[in-house]
Amino acid sequence: MIARVLAGAVLVGLAGGTVWAGSTLDRAEPTDAPPLTVTTAPEEVAAVCAAPVQLADPDVAGDPEFGSSPVGTTSGVVADAAPGAAALRTLDGEPVTTPPGDLAAAVPGPTALWSTPADGVVASAGTAWSVTTDGDLRGLAAAPCQTPTTEQWLVGGGTELGTSTRLVLQNPHGTPATVEIEVWGPTGRLELAGPATFSVPAGGQTSTLLEGLAAEQRRLTVRVTSTGAMVASYLQVNSLDGLRPTGVELIPAASAPATRQVVTGLVVDGSEPGAGGASVRVHVPTDGDPATDGDPATDGDPATDGDPATVDVFLLGPQGRVALPGAETVDVVPGEVTDLSLAGLPAGTYTAVLESAVPFLAAGTYPRTDPASGAVDVAHVAAAAPAGSGRLAVPAKAGVSIALTAVPDDVAALPATVVGVGGGPQPTPDGSAEPEDAAEPEDAAEPDGLPPTQVTLTFLGAGGATLETRAVTASAGTVVVAPGPAGTTAVRLDSQPPAGVLLTWTGNLSTGPGLVSALPGTESADVTVSVTVAARPDLGLGVDR
């Protein structure tokens, strides 16, 4: 916006000068003045943080001992930034009080992290989180604070019996936004049973339950587009199996459709068959217009003619690439939302690299069961954008384990070990989430010509104090797991991957038995805008151009 105002001011000034000159001259003289390029950045940039989780019908009252929420939910927001470079505010702009030296607060509603760019770069990360230890909302839910945009894709959730999915739309700006949504399910694009257009007030939020718009859908993808103002959006998903809680999660915007998606941090402990095990959701978007099917102009394009698109699936683990029979490719009908089960993987932390000839969306999940109560929680794992550096803000009292992967450009060239079927590597005897040597795989083969990636992880504690700085070596095609020390409130990553390698990373979180979530790292963002201004002496004179 600042760039637009600046450009407008320059053009108005030139126009005023030429109009005055036109009263004394018959024709403007040509000019040889070169175009002027101006680079600017906004004074502040907002990242919007999710509100605390809530029941589908929060107004229902009853006996707390037997109700759907017998214990309260603890919620908050935490952020990591350079001192003085960011501040927390409510969505409508009121300051949020935080302890000296910390950007953390217990909040009753949605907030925004406002960051001041340094040399045009925003280097901050925020996380909204909620923990409930019993009842329908039992689970750890966490999501990164998000930069508003005019389009987002949300990959996750469902509306089948026992599952509730709430779509939340947030607007931190001073003008209202008009939002349109599209929803896809297992059979393709859905006709909604209610409105698809919503008004989001300035400095406010709007939410709707998707089960009221698209009932009995096992799998969902949602597209959000806005006009009038940029918005942030997310899904709150919670589910029950009868009376047993089976997870709550906050699902942020996914990476945009692309021909490659990387899902890092899928944790398998080898003991979750009853909860469904880890899986990856895949969706090839379409415009939902049957008229494009068979159109010669788009013949052979799976995104328009309805032919299945083949998605290749490469699984990378602690010791390198593994091949899971039955999960090496998936044929996806455009428009249909498909889940790919990863059941059969040995215990460990994995990265799924998915590739196709057409753009698609992807995200992952993994469950965790409390052995004492049988209650289940689920972690949503977003497709991770490559990042050579970044930050992650850790919820209060949560343990964090960083999963990172150096993904080669030609992942198909990596040697693969067959797992899950006769003779392949088996789950560890104790069913732990990672083998003991997962953090430093000594025997992983280094692909020819690809040196390892050197990574520095800095774990911060209360007040921004450094708890530990750790050097990690990531061989191409392997997953490295680095548990954080107790009391970690933020993690900073710095690396310089070699040519032909991209680094992805995720923070796997836990606040107790069967309480899990996952957070993608937030990369520093260049928010500068360049505007080129050219002198126009003929502006306003009616001179032929």
**Residues 120 and 152 reside in one and the same domain:** yes
Q: Per the domain annotation, does 178 fall within a domain? A: yes
Q: Per the domain annotation, does 142 fall within a domain? A: yes
Q: What is the mean pLDDT of residues 524-531?
A: 84
Identify the burial level of 340 via C-beta atoms within 10 angstroms of its C-beta, where 0-12 means exposed, 13-18 middle and 19 or more buried: buried
Binned at pLDDT 50, 70 and 90, residue 19 comes out as very low
**Residues 115 and 180 reside in one and the same domain:** yes
Q: Which of 253, 277, 292 is at the close of a domain?
A: 253
Q: Per the domain annotation, does 478 fall within a domain? A: no
- Measuring CA to CA, how many Å separate 428 from each of 187, 327, 417, 436, 437? 38, 21, 17, 9, 11
DSSP assignments along 36-102, one per residue:
EEEEE--S-EEEEEPPPP--SSTT----TTTSS-SSPPEEEEEEEESTTSEEEEETTS-B----TT-
pLDDT digits (tens, 9 = 90+) for 228-247: 999 999 999 999 999 899 99
Residue 11 vs residue 389, higher pLDDT: 389
Whether the pLDDT of residue 524 is over 70: the answer is: yes
Pick from 11-20, 36-45, 75-84, 417-426 the range whose average pLDDT is largest: 75-84
Please count the residues of the chain. 545
Cβ neighbours for 137, distance < 8 A, ≥ 6 positions apart: 53, 54, 55, 68, 69, 73, 130, 238, 245, 248
Q: What is the pLDDT of residue 110?
A: 94
**Residues 22 and 160 reside in one and the same domain:** no
pLDDT digits (tens, 9 = 90+) for 251-295: 999 999 999 999 999 999 876 554 458 999 999 998 655 444 444
Q: Per the domain annotation, does 210 fall within a domain? A: yes
Q: Which of 9-23, 41-55, 100-114 has the lowest mean pLDDT?
A: 9-23
Q: How many CB atoms lie within 10 A of CB 166?
A: 21
**Residues 104 and 238 reside in one and the same domain:** yes
**Residues 17 and 123 reside in one and the same domain:** no
Q: What is the mean pLDDT of residues 145-149?
A: 97
Tokens coding 318 = 């602690």
Q: Between vectors from CA 95 to CA 92 and to CA 99, what angle results, nearest 5°?
A: 145
Q: Domain total for the chain? A: 2
- The partner residues of 98 in beta bridges, in order of sequence, read none
Q: What is the pLDDT of residue 539?
A: 57
Q: Per the domain annotation, does 264 fall within a domain? A: no
Q: What is the mean pLDDT of residues 90-118?
A: 93
Q: What is the pLDDT of residue 41?
A: 81
Question: 110 φ, ψ to 5°?
Answer: -70, 150
- Here the CATH number for the domain that contains residue 235 is 2.60.290.11
Give residue 4's domain range: 1-41+533-545
- Measuring CA to CA, how many Å separate 76 from each of 50, 206, 215, 486? 10, 20, 31, 19
Q: Per the domain annotation, does 214 fall within a domain? A: yes
pLDDT digits (tens, 9 = 90+) for 300-359: 455 555 689 999 999 999 999 999 998 999 999 999 999 999 998 999 999 999 999 999
Strand, helix or coil at 140? Answer: strand
Single-letter amino acid code for the residue at 435: P
Q: Which of 253, 268, 286 is at the close of a domain?
A: 253
* C-alpha–C-alpha distance, residues 227 and 100, integer Å: 38
**Residues 137 and 207 reside in one and the same domain:** yes
**Residues 7 and 104 reside in one and the same domain:** no
Q: Which of 253, 278, 308 is at the close of a domain?
A: 253
Q: What is the pLDDT of residue 36?
A: 84
- Measuring CA to CA, how many Å separate 379 from each of 46, 130, 139, 238, 479? 26, 13, 9, 11, 18
Whether the pLDDT of residue 144 is over 50: the answer is: yes
User: What is this structure's pTM?
Assistant: 0.85
Q: Per the domain annotation, does 233 fall within a domain? A: yes
Q: Per the domain annotation, does 354 fall within a domain? A: no
Q: What is the pLDDT of residue 101?
A: 83
DSSP assignments along 104-125, one per residue:
EE--SS-EEEEE--BTTEE-EE
**Residues 4 and 152 reside in one and the same domain:** no
- Measuring CA to CA, how many Å separate 240 from each of 133, 207, 211, 321? 14, 21, 14, 35
Whether the pLDDT of residue 93 is over 90: the answer is: yes
Whether the pLDDT of residue 80 is over 70: the answer is: yes
* C-alpha–C-alpha distance, residues 225 and 197, integer Å: 10
Single-letter amino acid code for the residue at 281: R
Residue 226 vs residue 271, higher pLDDT: 226
Whether the pLDDT of residue 466 is over 90: the answer is: yes
**Residues 137 and 7 reside in one and the same domain:** no
